[in-house]
Structure 1
Amino acid sequence: MPFMQFLVHALVPILIAFLVGVGFAAYISVSLLIAGSLLFISAVLLVLTALQRKQNPMLIFGICALAIFFGVLRFIFWSEVPRDPLLRSAAGQEVMLRGIVSDEPDVREKSTLLTFSINELIDGDDVLRAEGKVLLIVARYPQYQYGDAVEITGVLKEPEAFAEENGRTFDYPNYLKAKGMTYQFFYPRITVLGHGKGNLIRAKLFATKHAFLERLSRVLAEPENALAGGILLGGKRSLGTEWTDRFRETGIVHIVVLSGYNMTIIAEWLGVAFLFLGFYGSLAISAIGIVGFALMTGAGATVVRAAIMALLVLLARLTGRTSTMGRALLVAGTIMVLHNPSILAFDPSFQLSFLAALGLVTVAPVLRERITIFRAHPLIEEVVISTLATQIMVLPLLLYQTGLFSTVALFANLLVLPIIPVTMLFAFATGLAAFLGNAVAFIPALPTEILLAWILGIGKFGASLPFAAIHVPPISGWFTGLLYALLAWIIYRPSLRELRVYLFRAPS
């Protein structure tokens, strides 16, 4: 059979097999012996297929086994990247390093997290070249900026896994490694040596973002100001622990998490607002909105991945070709995992963005066909369908990660999501108007405060209800994997059916 024709039909199971290989290697200590066994099995199946010289289902099994092998191998190569020998030998000791703050500071309630890219290690009078990234946990003040050149002195420590309040163990070492960091410092001594040493474009983007948030804080009170910043630019930690917990228990924390989901909300609103420009005009405006949103937040790797997934979701919804876009989303996700295999297992942001986007593209159309009671109310129907679709896809992962199930999530989202686009519009207008003066900003600030107060009220009231959130006992990774295997089979069943028909059709 023509190989390219076969590849088109077999694309979905091959990509899923690769992701299974990466996930298998991430959670199980896989040796090269096991990887070699997979290679041997795939080779045998492929040889048997070639000897028969006819269309044979064994071909797909052979290629899938080969894809699993490459997934395992890709993760092994990532996990065994050698660390800088200078840093490895200095672990557990006090060291002096020089480098730059290479990402936007992550400001928490009581501390700030800095990503520090190492340039030099100081050993007495010797200045040694060193490479790598480390995490600095520092006090909130003094403040540091992206691009600051600093010298730090402290004990270089390897991160350790820790038990969370819900009884689960958080794999902190691999979480940091997924971000390119293998060591950390706790409150080192810091001397600033200079400023503006980072990428000029990213520095300007961060400066613009901070200036906007600073103007917004002049005219909005707390916690409304923190919520506005979170909705616009994805900063749930600015809300503080109390409000974040309330939003999580109510099931609306996703509105302040930078993901493909809330990027899609922005894009769809822009698409509807500019429908008078025609299909391609509204699509272009929506795409520009997603790109602009990504740039406003600094265009980090997490944001770029979310933007790509949001663009694919938008394209699927505007064209109606959900099956094709479902495959495209799977291809995009696989390419991202191929580039950095750790994100599949250790990056919650990627996991939730990918699953939510997949739900909007593949699950939402199925639910829309079956749930007809809201057909007369398109806005309510869209909120219900989108919420159910994303909840179906992310629920197993959230139960595995947090053990928290919100019983009021659907109702809370029905009351919150319809006003999110207009809230974002007024909040953005308030921030821009604040550059002209507080008196000018007062006009859009009033409706902004009302809308934000409504969202906060829903979060507070929902979390106060008895049994609003149910704490589920820890579930195993294997069980979670089986749930997603079942979902994958349901979602991609049409593609698998096409493959089965293709493989077993009568020869022409």
Structure 2
Amino acid sequence: MMKPKAHIHRFYLNFVFLGGIIFGTIFSVFSKNTSFRSIVWLILATILFLFSWIFARKFCLILALIAGILLSLWRGSVYNFENLKIAQNIKKDVTVRAAVLEDPDLKEDGSLKIRAKVIEISNEQFNEKAFISLKTNQEIRRSDEILVKGKISEGFGDFAISIHRGRLIKISPKSDFIRDMRDSFAEGVRKFIPSPEVDLGLGYLLGQKNSLPEEISKALTITALTHIVVASGYNLTVLVMAAQRVFNKISRKIALFVAILLVLGFVFVVGFTPSMIRAGIVAIFGLILWYFGRKTQAYFLLTFVAAITLIFEPSNLLNLGWQLSFASFFGVLILSPLLQKIFFEKPEKLNSALKLFFETFSAQIATLPLIIFTFGAVSVISIFANMLVLPFVPSAMLTTFLTGIFAIFSPIAHFFGFIAELILKYSIFIIGEFSKIKGAQLEISFGFSEMLICYFCLILVVILINFKLRKDKILGILNES
């Protein structure tokens, strides 16, 4: 009598499917292929995935992988076609109407650097990202529509096109309730905390780095602490953990609800940047697993979030913020726990300072090849600066937040503002002093192939450590028996 074929767990089907999406996106974006634009490929991918999910046999792993690849090839072909279409305007002097995606950056030379979504070029509709630089005395805010005339150049990163030294023709202010509420809150905070402390505090809390003095911005770059003023997963983690601690005492459901509201609110306030979207998805996914008492599988979580963000926006693959965010994510969630297990028998009993050290060190190692390849420099004192500054970020965020909340009650706002100012003064002192150390930043450069070799070696090390730990665990069980 023949044995019935064993089913496989659908977790593996999902994992392989998501891996196929990532692989297909990488191939599609770099090959610039447009031959899979037909909706037929999307339908075929859907049928294959559903078939593999229903039957869940071992051969279905191949079907799930093919389904993921076909889905990403279809999405990538649509993205590539739109990019090629807008690229036909390169070297042309045209008028562009675009919506501002993030707060513009004001540079030392007085120019504004604007990240925008193209709406129209010479009466032709588009939906791609553009980088625009221009000089103007007029205020441009997030969500505003601008009309710019200039010569279109090739894009870079996730920007399809760029316009340098454009001429601003018109600004059409657009309502953005979240933006206006954020700016109103920031103004309230500024009444009780002086500059530059308030600028750093708002950078922590809201990701508003544009008002930071140039001296502090440079010091943050030298000490590799820019991530604390670019709203990211770290800032979001601080908020989520605070909500969990406070509201979990009342009810697990209330803690989940409040934490998710905080995540969504924070993402809306800061803006839908690739790194912020990644952080938001990770936070919500992690909260749901926490609520149901499930342990987070780091490898699956990393693959899941990467696949979701890439299928919705393939250009994220070329976004430096997205790349650094995932490299850091890999370091904190995968490399750090492995190193802790190598050096300590009971890593779960480590104190918060040691855990912070391992997480910071792992994030630095994971992002190092990409940073050197992109910037040609590396901070040699970053881990020490991070260790001295990061523990005080939650307190600075909380007191800055309470200062804004109680802005209408001056005595209370003055109290929290004073505490926030002291903490932020300390942070600025540490950042400034470390940035002055001679040789704090070394100039190193290597090419794309060297970067790939570094990441290949890093992944190989992770695999070998995993293998060693599993082997030691098996030997330990055998010795006990």
Bin of the TM-score, shorter chain as denominator length: 0.7 to 0.9
- Structure with the bigger RCO (C-alpha within 8 Å, sep 6+) is 1
Structure 1 residue 479 and structure 2 residue 457: aligned? no
**Distance apart, 1:300 and its partner CA:** 5.3
Contact in 1 for aligned 2:240/2:259 (Cα 8 Å): yes
Structure 1 residue 16 and structure 2 residue 19: aligned? yes
Structure 1 residue 453 and structure 2 residue 425: aligned? yes
Show the 5 A alignment for 1:72-111. 74-81=75-82, 88=88, 91-97=90-96, 99=97, 101-109=99-107, 110-111=110-111
**Distance apart, 1:415 and its partner CA:** 1.4
Provide the secondary structure at the position in 1 that maps to 2:8: helix
**Distance apart, 1:143 and its partner CA:** 0.5
Contact in 1 for aligned 2:275/2:325 (Cα 8 Å): no
| Distance in 1 of aligned mates of 2:390 and 2:118 | 43
Q: Deviations over 1:219-277 (max 9, x none)?
A: 32222122111111113343244323322332322211222232112212332333423
2:437 to 457, 465, 481: 465
Which consecutive residues of structure 1, in runs of 5 or more, have no partner in the other structure? Answer: 34-38, 40-54, 123-127, 160-171, 498-508
**Distance apart, 1:387 and its partner CA:** 1.6
Contact in 2 for aligned 1:155/1:185 (Cα 8 Å): yes
Matched with 1:49 is: none
**Distance apart, 1:82 and its partner CA:** 5.7
Which consecutive residues of structure 2, in runs of 5 or more, have no partner in the other structure? Answer: 36-40, 42-56, 472-481
Contact in 1 for aligned 2:34/2:81 (Cα 8 Å): no
Matched with 1:391 is: 364
Matched with 2:383 is: 410
Contact in 1 for aligned 2:240/2:262 (Cα 8 Å): yes
The residue type paired with residue 486 of structure 1 is L
| Alpha-carbon distance change, 354 to 310 in structure 1, aligned in 2, over 3 angstroms | farther
Q: Deviations over 1:257-302 (max 9, x none)?
A: 2222321122123323334235444344333322222222245565
**Distance apart, 1:61 and its partner CA:** 7.2
Contact in 2 for aligned 1:224/1:452 (Cα 8 Å): yes
| Alpha-carbon distance change, 156 to 4 in structure 1, aligned in 2, over 3 angstroms | farther
**Distance apart, 1:458 and its partner CA:** 1.3
Matched with 1:168 is: none
Q: Deviations over 1:380-409 (max 9, x none)?
A: 133223323423432332233223333322
Structure 1 residue 5 and structure 2 residue 8: aligned? yes
| Alpha-carbon distance change, 486 to 402 in structure 1, aligned in 2, over 3 angstroms | farther
| Distance in 1 of aligned mates of 2:226 and 2:116 | 29
The residue type paired with residue 184 of structure 1 is I
Matched with 1:195 is: 173
2:132 to 121, 130, 136: 136
Provide the secondary structure at the position in 2 that maps to 1:145: coil
Contact in 1 for aligned 2:25/2:73 (Cα 8 Å): yes
| Distance in 2 of aligned mates of 1:352 and 1:331 | 17
**Distance apart, 1:347 and its partner CA:** 0.9
Contact in 2 for aligned 1:312/1:325 (Cα 8 Å): no
TM-score of the two chains, using structure 2 as the length reference: 0.77
1:271 to 244, 269, 286: 244
| Alpha-carbon distance change, 474 to 350 in structure 1, aligned in 2, over 3 angstroms | same
Structure 1 residue 176 and structure 2 residue 150: aligned? no
Provide the secondary structure at the position in 1 that maps to 2:442: strand
Matched with 2:334 is: 362
Contact in 1 for aligned 2:274/2:322 (Cα 8 Å): no
Provide the secondary structure at the position in 1 that maps to 2:163: strand
The residue type paired with residue 76 of structure 2 is F
| Alpha-carbon distance change, 319 to 102 in structure 1, aligned in 2, over 3 angstroms | same
1:341 to 287, 292, 314: 314
**Distance apart, 1:327 and its partner CA:** 0.9
The residue type paired with residue 458 of structure 1 is I
Provide the secondary structure at the position in 2 that maps to 1:428: helix
Provide the secondary structure at the position in 2 that maps to 1:175: coil
| Alpha-carbon distance change, 148 to 328 in structure 1, aligned in 2, over 3 angstroms | closer
**Distance apart, 1:422 and its partner CA:** 1.0
Matched with 1:297 is: 270
| Alpha-carbon distance change, 335 to 278 in structure 1, aligned in 2, over 3 angstroms | same
| Distance in 2 of aligned mates of 1:208 and 1:227 | 19
Provide the secondary structure at the position in 1 that maps to 2:276: helix
Contact in 2 for aligned 1:399/1:475 (Cα 8 Å): no
Provide the secondary structure at the position in 2 that maps to 1:141: coil
Q: Identical aligned pairs, as a percentage? A: 20
Contact in 2 for aligned 1:119/1:131 (Cα 8 Å): yes
Structure 1 residue 308 and structure 2 residue 281: aligned? yes
The residue type paired with residue 107 of structure 1 is D
**Distance apart, 1:440 and its partner CA:** 4.9
Structure 1 residue 378 and structure 2 residue 351: aligned? yes
Matched with 1:164 is: none
| Distance in 2 of aligned mates of 1:358 and 1:268 | 20
| Distance in 2 of aligned mates of 1:10 and 1:129 | 42
Contact in 2 for aligned 1:18/1:68 (Cα 8 Å): yes
Contact in 2 for aligned 1:19/1:334 (Cα 8 Å): yes
Show the 5 A alignment for 1:221-260. 221-260=194-233
Matched with 2:304 is: 331
Provide the secondary structure at the position in 2 that maps to 1:470: strand
Q: Deviations over 1:75-108 (max 9, x none)?
A: 34422326667x845x4444445x4634343132
